Amino acid sequence: MEFNSRRSNVRGKNGMVATTQPLAAMSGLRVLMNGGNAIDAAVATAATLTVVEPMSTGIGGDLFALVRMGSEKKIRALNASGRSAAAADAEELRLQNLTEIPSQSAYAVTVPGTISGWQELINCYGNMGLNEVLSSAIEYADNGYPVSEVISMQWKLNASRLSQDALKSDLLINGRSPNPGEIVYMPQLAQILRTISEGGSEAFYKGNIANQISNHVQSKGGWLSKQDFATHKPDWVDPIKTVYRGVTCWECPPNGQGLNALIALNILSGFDIQSMGFQSAETFHHLIEAMRLALMDGSLYIADPNMANIPLEKLLSDDHADLKRSFINPESVSNIDVPVMPNLINDTVYISVVDKDGNACSLINSLFESFGTGIVVPETSIALHNRGKSFSLNENHPNFLQPKKRPFHTIIPAMATINDELWLTYGVMGGMQQAQGHLQILVNLIDFKLSPQQTLDAPRFRTSITNESFLETIAQNEILTKLQEKGHNITFAEPHPSFFGSGQIIETNLANGTLIGASEPRADGMAVAW
């Protein structure tokens, strides 16, 4: 498929890191070059991102990862998302006449799972200790770093979300966000990271940091307690998968939304997408309709699997795909009338790492919305995520707020294999756009044989169950017109990374074992290799 890319693929032989910020990517690459493996490098990259891209990620957020060790050729999924407080009470909120959990309230704070995820990954699969892996992040926090243009813009746009506590934190400079090129120092965060590097996750969940966070959340009216932190643990779970045109596509299971991507792929597998043409209105129509039908299932079923019945086998079956496919009319939009998930947009970081031994880590770290709740714990510069806002206050919904429950999550790392050999380590950030991004990446790579960078450069759509869709302005006008003629409520929108997603891809060349990397042209990301 001929398609002019805006930049070249990155190629390497010994190891590769792809993420949203160059300094963080280099932190991971240094780990690889110093004897660490892909898992060490992924955690090092994630830790550095908490310093250099603090509106998107942080130790006050959650983490999911897929891991594949070259010697085992088995993919494992790590769910390091936190649970609601033991004292969480939906009735308390309904008595306040609330119909949803406010995004900037202490009620939206669940136990941050990120640090437990870092520790678990290093314990199970790393070559290095946590102190070695966090050294770059601590160095940048102590010695400072110049802020890039895109991150400065995101910081400025979202600084108003920060609470008054942020005025005495590392997250603002004399009450304002940093300008492009300005050097930012984070001494408070450096000390927290140093404490974690020396004491491990126990220093976070069973030490003074947990006391500081829980006390501050309770002072804001929230429920989190020291005991909620002490009882938190991450879980290794079986990934879910489907086969699309001979490629096995892997996702984390619920409470994440990877299920949405797999259902959409199953629906599309019954259509000859390639014959419809790359970037044609017919292709966009079928992708949008498949995604809407998948989102319908996701809105009804995705929740904490330990507290809700999720019929995964049925949802991923051929029979279910056949049923869903029958709703797609090639000439018009399907009429879908079901409860709707919020059209969530978030800021997140995604990290893809593959090393010379075939070890791979697909990892995603997030505060959910920019700076999460905006609540900053005094003297720590820890911004607390607002993942709990995704709980429902409707007791008939599987994602109903209950004590010690994990909420619906948008963040989803992914992998793909061919004949049990690793082919892709990839992810797309952007709230509910993430599963849609996965779908579009795979169709571009598999159906249209694009390279990784061409795949990320290609114009994207964003849709919802309600038939409100958007197409990037870099797409052709005639595509928009033809989709509108089919009944799509679709308009153009600027290619912003938070809205249309921000992706990273590392492809393993199955012929010679070399690595082919690509990073999002809509943001600051880059792939680096050696």
- Three state DSSP letters for 21-76: CHHHHHHHHHHHHCCCCHHHHHHHHHHHHHHHCCCCCCCCCEEEEEEECCCCCCEE
Amino acid 167: pLDDT? 96
Pick from 279, 278, 348, 351: nearest CA to 517:
351
Q: Output DSSP code: residue 177.
A: P
Token readout for 248 is 């096995």
CA atoms of 262 and 258, how far apart (whole Å): 7
CA atoms of 184 and 272, how far apart (whole Å): 51
Distances (CA, A) of 33 to 29, 36, 392, 469: 6, 7, 46, 44
Amino acid 347: pLDDT? 59
CA atoms of 452 and 172, how far apart (whole Å): 37
Amino acid 523: pLDDT? 85
Token readout for 141 is 């926090």
CA atoms of 44 and 18, how far apart (whole Å): 12
CA atoms of 23 and 146, how far apart (whole Å): 10
Q: Is 35 exposed, middle or buried (0-12, 13-18, 19+ CB in 10 A)?
A: exposed
CA atoms of 342 and 340, how far apart (whole Å): 6
Please indicate whether residue 348 is annotated as part of the active site.
Answer: yes
Pick from 209, 214, 225: nearest CA to 115:
209
Task: Tell me which amino acid residue 150 is.
Answer: V
Token readout for 331 is 């000439």
What residues form DSSP beta bridges with 67?
76, 361
Q: Is the pLDDT of residue 339 over 70?
A: no
How confident is the model over 63-98, as pLDDT tens digits? Answer: 999 999 999 989 999 999 999 999 999 999 999 999
* H helix or E strand, kind and range, residue 418: strand 414-418
User: For residues 266 and 323, is the Cβ–Cβ distance under 8 A?
Assistant: no
Helix, strand, or coil (residue 422):
strand
CA atoms of 133 and 127, how far apart (whole Å): 10
CA atoms of 93 and 393, how far apart (whole Å): 8
Q: Output DSSP code: residue 374.
A: S
CA atoms of 519 and 350, how far apart (whole Å): 10
Average pLDDT (106-131) is 98
Q: Across the chain, what does the average pLDDT equal?
A: 95
Amino acid 516: pLDDT? 98
Amino acid 277: pLDDT? 97
The more confident residue out of 521 and 123 is: 123
User: For residues 83 and 389, is the Cβ–Cβ distance under 8 A?
Assistant: no
Q: Is the pLDDT of residue 344 over 60?
A: no
Buried-state track 379-406, b at ≥16 Cβ within 10 A, e below 16: ebbbbbbbbbbbbbbeeebbbbbbebbb
Helix intervals (H) in 159-257? 187-205, 208-219, 226-230
Q: Output DSSP code: residue 96.
A: T
Amino acid 346: pLDDT? 52
Select which of 348, 380, 410, 417 is catalytic: 348
How confident is the model over 378-416, as pLDDT tens digits? Answer: 999 999 999 999 999 999 999 999 999 999 999 999 999
Amino acid 433: pLDDT? 95
Q: Is 248 exposed, middle or buried (0-12, 13-18, 19+ CB in 10 A)?
A: middle
How confident is the model over 283-334, as pLDDT tens digits? Answer: 999 999 999 999 999 999 999 999 999 999 999 999 999 999 999 999 999 8
**% of the chain residues with pLDDT over 70:** 98
Q: Is the pLDDT of residue 342 over 80?
A: no
* Domain residue extents for the chain: 20-62+82-229+379-390, 237-344+412-529
**% of the chain residues with pLDDT over 90:** 93
Q: Is the dihedral of CA 330, 453, 5, 245 positive or negative?
A: negative
CB atoms within 10 A of CB 421: 11
Q: Is the pLDDT of residue 146 over 70?
A: yes
User: For residues 200 and 126, is the Cβ–Cβ distance under 8 A?
Assistant: no
- The CATH number corresponding to 237-344+412-529 among 3.40.50.12780, 3.40.50.720, 3.50.50.60, 3.60.20.40 equals 3.60.20.40
Helix, strand, or coil (residue 423):
strand
Task: Tell me which amino acid residue 145 is.
Answer: Y
Buried-state track 476-490, b at ≥16 Cβ within 10 A, e below 16: eeebbebbeebebeb
**Reported pTM:** 0.96
Q: Is the pLDDT of residue 1 over 60?
A: no
| Residue 7 confidence class, pLDDT cut points 50, 70, 90 | confident
